[in-house]
Structure 1
Amino acid sequence: MKKNILYPGKSVVALVLMIVSLSCQSLEEAPEGISTPQNFYTTVSQCEAAYAGSMNALFVTWGGYQNIPAFPDGQYEGTSLDFGVTAFNDLWNWHYKSIANINSVLKAVKGGSLASNPQDVIDNVIAQGRFLRAFNYFTLVRLYGKIPYITEDTPDPVLTPLTPESRLEVAEVYDLLEADLTFAVDHLGDYDAATPGKPNKWIAKGYLAKTYLTRATAPLNQADYYAKARDVADEIITKGPYKLLPSLLDVFKTANNRNMEIMFAFHTTSQTPYMPGNVFAPSEMDGWSGGPVKIYWASNIYPEQPRKHSYLLLDFTSDIYDPSAPIINWSKSADGVPYIGKYNMPNLTYDQQVGGGDAGIEMKLLRFADILLIYAEAANMAAGAPTQLAVDRLNMIIDRANAGNGKEPRATLAMSKAVFDQKVIDERSYELCFENDRYFDVLRKRILEQVNLPDNAQGFQETDYLLPIPALDAKAIGQNPGY
């Protein structure tokens, strides 16, 4: 892997050795000890702190997923299918850096660093790491296809450089990450309200269901996995602690972070605060115009309903500093585009919106709404037609979105398999928009060209379904087709 991303480069190692050598010459006393992964990860809290640190590779103030990667998924304005060799390279680097941090803990624990603890405690620590590793690889395999699956047992890529043969077939990658997730399901604890950000068995089951659903679709198209996705999703729905909030207005309020619809999210501390609220706001709200919404999708595709006006910022004040300023439509605004309602007022307080500091915008990774939608899609495809329970669970999402006066039609048992499947995919687009989910649906349903019509699909090629591997790593392991 890229040496200056995952592991110290040779020049750094040489510098460290030189410093150690000079130090030994100038000191008579031998050092009492050196902290290494093998002798540092000797407590559960140290291991869990390192796991939390691995998420910092993905989510830091002004970086990572706080910036919401603007994939060409048909929802972001100004995206392009004209992928260059450097397109989205950061995603590769972030995730492999996170994996390297996780593997260092797993290697230490495997070497006996926690040997003084009961076996169930050790297994739980291992399960946390294997879940987080699978979480990273699930993103990587969907974006890049054949990839190296580096574990705690993989020889150091600095000393034993990776080769093209290091890239596993996509099905092999899924087998390995499923094994990680299955171990996590078996050894993680139950939901604990005192530690809502900590992985638990239900979150692991949620990602297992998502993984099964993805295997059932492109590029593997292993249809037997629909039934597996259905069954795991059903177990979460019927036996798990999470639920759909009655009002969609409560889901994204910063005052309601970590609510029981949120299964997994990026949580921060005061040391790594959330982005300011005005990052995602229009000019009239003293915003920085980040994350404009695709006009065609907002105007012509998203159904008219209360959810649309909550999840999208379509009408807003013409001057946020003037309480009497009139409300204007996005089409009359200075920027001329809608914005993401999930990350603006009224989900933020006024002070969070304009203060320029930590806005408390919790970036969701997995919601209970997603599990209901996974069930609906998988049950329909497994049965060859919509089932009553699939219809009912899909309508839970639609009914909440309509809130009594929306115009989106409900799902019905009379729909064909294909029509119901399209209904679910559309609903996923509306409900989970701007939560780092839509692009993966676009990839697995093979609709990349379709969602970028009519304005920016001209550069589409089938090779666009995979992102380019960063050039330095591609020299060692090979590049994806088309780059």
Structure 2
Amino acid sequence: MKNFKLFTRNTRYLLVAALIFLSSCKKLVEKPSSVIVPDNFYTTATQVQSAYTASLNALWGHNVGYQAYMDDFNQDDQIVRGDLNIPEDYGAELWAAHYNALLNINTAIKALKKGLPGADKSQTDVLIGEGKFLRAYNYFMLVRIFGGVPLIIETTPDPVTNKLARASVQQVYDQIVSDFTDAIAKLPVTRSADMRGLPTRDAAKGLLAKAYLTMATYPLNMPANYAKAAEMAKEVIDSAHYSLVPDIKDLFSVATQYGPEMMWSLNSNYQNLGPDPRIWSDMRGFGDICAEPTWEQAYPKQPRKDAFIETTLDGVLYYNLGDYWPGVKKFQYDSPADFAAGRSIVNMPVIRFADVLLIFAEAENMSKGGPTQQAVDAINKVINRANGYVVNNEDPLATTSLSMAAFDNKVIQERNYELCFEIDRWFDLIRKHILKQESLPDVQINFSSDDYLWPIPTNDIKVDPSLTQNPGY
């Protein structure tokens, strides 16, 4: 898989180089009748929205971004084939995808602040809120993967001609908090049916709560942020704009991918397809991304496991079939015709209501010195649904009698079960500083404290010597 990926990457670079060479052979127009640059290109709200769409396509488009490089997260304990041997330039494509996205976002925000002809203040404010939301999301991903990164916003001098050193982790989070806070003030509470994929105020609150929760843990370790995370998550819960899908089997259906639980996602449709659904299935498809058998076998028996993980083929368990791994069933809820044709319109969640409930439970417990009844109620909503609303000793309900540490462990384990394969587990392992202890024994021998960050791409360091490499690479 990795060798094939390296081949395709090198091929892509050769194609780009060839296109540049061919285009350089064309005659240049020496006296253009007009010049369009980023500062004067954006004149309508539609153009700005297109820039935001382009930024998302950099992250979630055909064979690019997280669609193409989801298996980079196999270093967690859920996805098979991880070994904690993280090579040079690991994740370089995601670094490039995020900075390509930020280029579109920043130029659009800059134009909006200058003013769009014909756009009133309320419309402009919403568009700025969307831009701030998207920028905060991009930096939230970057800082958790790479640590401190170059911080580029709409007022930053041209980064091509002005070299930019890495900002500190704290400085990046300061920008994330600022942008999400501004987005909360400007984004609408709800979206119309034709704009249902766009971010809302509660989506910004949910992601800000998650950012605060991360700031409370490693590497910043600022526990005062637990209370901020709990407060922000509680606002989402109390708003009653979102709720859990009652039947776990319906959670990842196409019918529910825009609500009531999905708060914001990387969207797929027939114009912008998601990854081939067969990559999630080892027994019925390609098996590019499968569950680690040890992890699957430790997963509690409950309706949620049946809905999220593919373990049988025609009633026969995968480990009785030979060289097979358990599949990721939660992203296989396309129609049979789409599955057979290798096309998917299933979204990849970024923030959903179950995540917010678990954020609140963790933050409330840690900020109050033990589980409150509200924290217990929040996690038990997730557990109850997972168990089909019956008592299950393999995944028992939480109680206020648990110690702070025991309740915290239960929340992290529940996140492990509920949010599996949603680009979430790796970040929990990092922020809770439990990467080594949660890795398989044969993987632990490869562990280094340097594994908590991925390497800064070497090409970027060559271009900009002010960038420094993460330790161990």
Whether TM exceeds 0.5 here: the answer is yes
The answer (yes or no) to whether the contact 1:305–1:405 under 8 Å persists in 2 is no
Q: Tell which structure's C-alpha radius of gyration is larger.
A: 1
Q: 1:139 aligns with which of 141, 153, 163?
A: 141
Q: How does 1:60-459 map to 2 (within 5 A)?
A: 60-67=61-68, 68-71=70-73, 72-112=75-115, 114-162=116-164, 166-194=165-193, 195-283=195-283, 285=284, 287-299=285-297, 301-317=298-314, 327-344=315-332, 347-356=333-342, 358-403=343-388, 404=390, 406=392, 407-459=394-446
Distance 2:100 2:456 in 1: 15
State the Cα distance separating 1:74 from its structure 2 match: 0.3
The answer (yes or no) to whether the contact 2:268–2:344 under 8 Å persists in 1 is no
The answer (yes or no) to whether the contact 2:58–2:101 under 8 Å persists in 1 is yes
Distance 2:213 2:446 in 1: 29
Q: Comparing 472-481 with 124-133, which one deviates more in the overlay? A: 472-481
SS at match of 1:69: helix
Residue in structure 2 matched with residue 321 of structure 1 by the alignment: none
Distance 2:118 2:253 in 1: 43
Residue in structure 2 matched with residue 320 of structure 1 by the alignment: none
C-alpha distance after superposition, 1:110-166 (max 9, x if no partner)? 333x1542222222211111110010000111111111110111111221222xxx2
State the Cα distance separating 1:24 from its structure 2 match: 3.3
- Letter in structure 1 aligned against 2:381: M
Distance 2:63 2:294 in 1: 29
Q: Comparing 252-261 with 99-108, which one deviates more in the overlay? A: 252-261
The answer (yes or no) to whether the contact 1:278–1:288 under 8 Å persists in 2 is yes
The answer (yes or no) to whether the contact 1:70–1:76 under 8 Å persists in 2 is no
Q: Is 2:471 the counterpart of 1:470? A: no
- Letter in structure 1 aligned against 2:233: A
Distance 2:127 2:163 in 1: 29
State the Cα distance separating 1:250 from its structure 2 match: 0.8
C-alpha distance after superposition, 1:422-465 (max 9, x if no partner)? 00000000000000111111110001111212221211111110
The answer (yes or no) to whether the contact 1:364–1:435 under 8 Å persists in 2 is yes
- Letter in structure 1 aligned against 2:160: V
Residue in structure 1 matched with residue 48 of structure 2 by the alignment: 47
State the Cα distance separating 1:46 from its structure 2 match: 1.0
Residue in structure 2 matched with residue 23 of structure 1 by the alignment: 29
Residue in structure 2 matched with residue 481 of structure 1 by the alignment: 471
The answer (yes or no) to whether the contact 1:311–1:340 under 8 Å persists in 2 is yes
The answer (yes or no) to whether the contact 1:66–1:363 under 8 Å persists in 2 is no
Pair 1:266–1:178, CA change in 2 (3 A): same
Unaligned runs of 5+ in 1: 318-326
Pair 1:94–1:118, CA change in 2 (3 A): same
Distance 2:72 2:459 in 1: 24
- Letter in structure 1 aligned against 2:147: G
C-alpha distance after superposition, 1:250-302 (max 9, x if no partner)? 1011343222100011113433222232222124x2x1112111111111x21
Distance 1:66 1:176 in 2: 27
Number of residue pairs aligned between Structure 1 and Structure 2: 451
The answer (yes or no) to whether the contact 1:202–1:240 under 8 Å persists in 2 is no
Residue in structure 2 matched with residue 460 of structure 1 by the alignment: 447
Unaligned runs of 5+ in 2: 1-11
C-alpha distance after superposition, 1:361-380 (max 9, x if no partner)? 21111110000000000000
C-alpha distance after superposition, 1:397-435 (max 9, x if no partner)? 111111126431110110000000000000000000000
- Percent identity (aligned): 40
Q: Comparing 376-385 with 272-281, which one deviates more in the overlay? A: 272-281
Distance 2:468 2:102 in 1: 20
Distance 2:249 2:335 in 1: 14
Residue in structure 1 matched with residue 6 of structure 2 by the alignment: none
State the Cα distance separating 1:334 from its structure 2 match: 4.0
Pair 1:269–1:38, CA change in 2 (3 A): farther
